[in-house]
Chains A and B, each alone.
Chain A
């Protein structure tokens, strides 16, 4: 069984094209049901996120399956082959394994180390496995990728440090307040950035989100979106003294919060910290307010600097992550190689079993003709039948070995047989029944010159 991956990601395709081949538009299960019907595809998983659409499949004929999957991609998403094919990549076996492990680790992500992708890989696998589209190969591969993803994250720092402005702000707030539960947040301005930050704050269970804007309608709209409360612009100063977290993003040409405002607001609160995140441009808060005791003022540039520092730190961990992925790929490849012997082992078992069965049938008919008291006759039959089994089992291998010519071939064969049956090892005395003499090599090793 071979492994094949066909797909496109932010590395190979524009957002326009990625949108067109996004499986989630029609639902991944529907895509899986069509893929499951394709000739030559034994197992399949579809990984579809906003940055990638990939099909992982197990197949017998990779060349044929590649063509099948590419034409499926084009026809299913209704994109001409000439347009899509140049943006699709194909990976086989170890390269496909490496690709999946890098993806699950976040090494292949647009923002290196982003945490969502591992969950998305898990979801993709669960969707396919629940509908029986996966088998031994993809089950093992995907479970391995979860472990590899976790390992890379825990042994390197690629997932550490906030890499988006709003998330950096939340991390900062947590470093000051511990948990954000029960805190009051005040949004000044009702723009997109304020909304994004408010959504993050809401997910952290802040007690109350207040929105103040010069345009009351916009304040009310944002408040409704983030389950907050709008407050009149005139109450800004009062609310400042009550709030723990203040986010300003107004787009006003002049600072709307002066140092005087903050001094007045913080006086009654004593040493209770106030975290101000000024993401307006030009700035909304007088920068000198940051000098006040227990006032932590961060503007958009400060937050950007934190983000870029974290990005650099993550990037420096990429090489380490790649090395870990390579180790995991090697280990998976070793498992895959060990699987290659399975059909031979199955055939061998079945050959031996058929010999045993034919002898059992023979002996049954002989026993039927023998009276039950004739122990001597039974012993004779056992002797005969076991002897015949050994003869039959050894007949083919012995003839094959005798027919081998050429010193190298003889050496290879004898070495293989010796290894397979462990013939050169000294037998373990404790296990050896005295009735059986120590085994001799079936074939003498060739003389070395």
Chain B
């Protein structure tokens, strides 16, 4: 069922690429319309899966990836609407399509074990996924900032110069995305910790018992929190904006992505509910 949104995200990626390369307005509009169709289909898929298992399908990394892609699409569409700027689509939508391959290939929904049967679970997962989506946007914006920065410094005004918004706009988008992401990351972590303190003494589930600061998934996400907290601090207090802030947000997301896919599937002892 997850294949249909995947196909639409792929077509939309192609249209965004055409729009970026040729700067045609029509291709840009088509890309947005297809992306909206993709999001609608994705909403339908998530709705159907919720009906099937009786709860939001976030359990396990596969469900989380699908929800992450969905939230990233929403966050991106919101940014596009607010800024009337489609240049980022060529970077964001292919990333979504790439990640959507995982749920499309798996195509099964994990049942929620009784231990996760708590409203805290939904808040924890949704907050973190939304934070990841914001950080993904910040990363993409940061990468484009660096590309444009390099062209301007090298005095070879070409491809990106003609297509990207100004450095200031990119820097502003980056700082906002990092700030929003940090708020949700903090919320997700706090809720997770409070909930764990409630649950841990009352269960023998080895996955819950394995939840500690040394579990790779928890360790890395805390590391990310440190990275993004530093990014916020550095912007406010040391004056790191522009290229340094862009690189920092790209680095933070690279670490997050590492946590999301390889660690989430193969390494963690705690967060493997599938």
Contact = CB atoms under 8 A, between A and B. Distances in A.
A174 B244 contact: no
Contacts of A298: 155
Given A178-B169, A270-B238, A306-B157, A296 B152 contact: yes
Nearest to A305: B155
Contacts of B168: 176-178, 273
A175 B166 contact: yes
A204 to B, nearest CB: 13
Contacts, number: 52
Contacts of B162: 160
Interface residues of A, number: 21
Given A271-B242, A302-B155, 20 more contacts: A160-B162, A172-B157, A176-B166, A177-B166, A178-B165, A178-B166, A178-B167, A178-B168, A269-B239, A270-B238, A270-B239, A270-B241, A271-B239, A271-B244, A273-B168, A293-B242, A293-B243, A294-B242, A298-B155, A309-B157
A176 B167 contact: yes
B161 interface: yes
Interface in B127-163: 148, 152-153, 155, 157, 161-162
**A172, A273, A298: residue with the most chain B Cβ atoms closer than 10 Å:** A273
Contacts of A29: none
Given A290-B153, A298-B155, A175 B167 contact: yes
Interface string B65-93: 00000000000000000000000000000
B274 interface: no
Nearest to B240: A271
Contacts of A302: 155
Contacts of B239: 269-272
Interface string A157-178: 0001000000000001011111
B240 A176 contact: no
Interface residues of B, number: 20
A175 B161 CA distance: 8
**A160, A175, A290, A306: residue with the most chain B Cβ atoms closer than 10 Å:** A175
Interface string B158-195: 00011001111100000000000000000000000000
B103 to A, nearest CB: 38
B168 to A, nearest CB: 4
Interface in A170-193: 172, 174-178
A172 B167 CA distance: 11
Interface in B223-245: 238-245
Nearest to A154: B25
A271 B246 CA distance: 12
26 contacts: A172-B157, A174-B166, A175-B148, A175-B152, A175-B166, A175-B167, A176-B152, A176-B166, A176-B168, A177-B168, A178-B165, A178-B166, A178-B168, A269-B239, A270-B239, A271-B240, A272-B239, A272-B241, A273-B167, A273-B168, A290-B153, A293-B243, A296-B152, A296-B153, A305-B155, A309-B157
Interface string A287-321: 00010011010100010011001000000000000
B152 A172 contact: yes
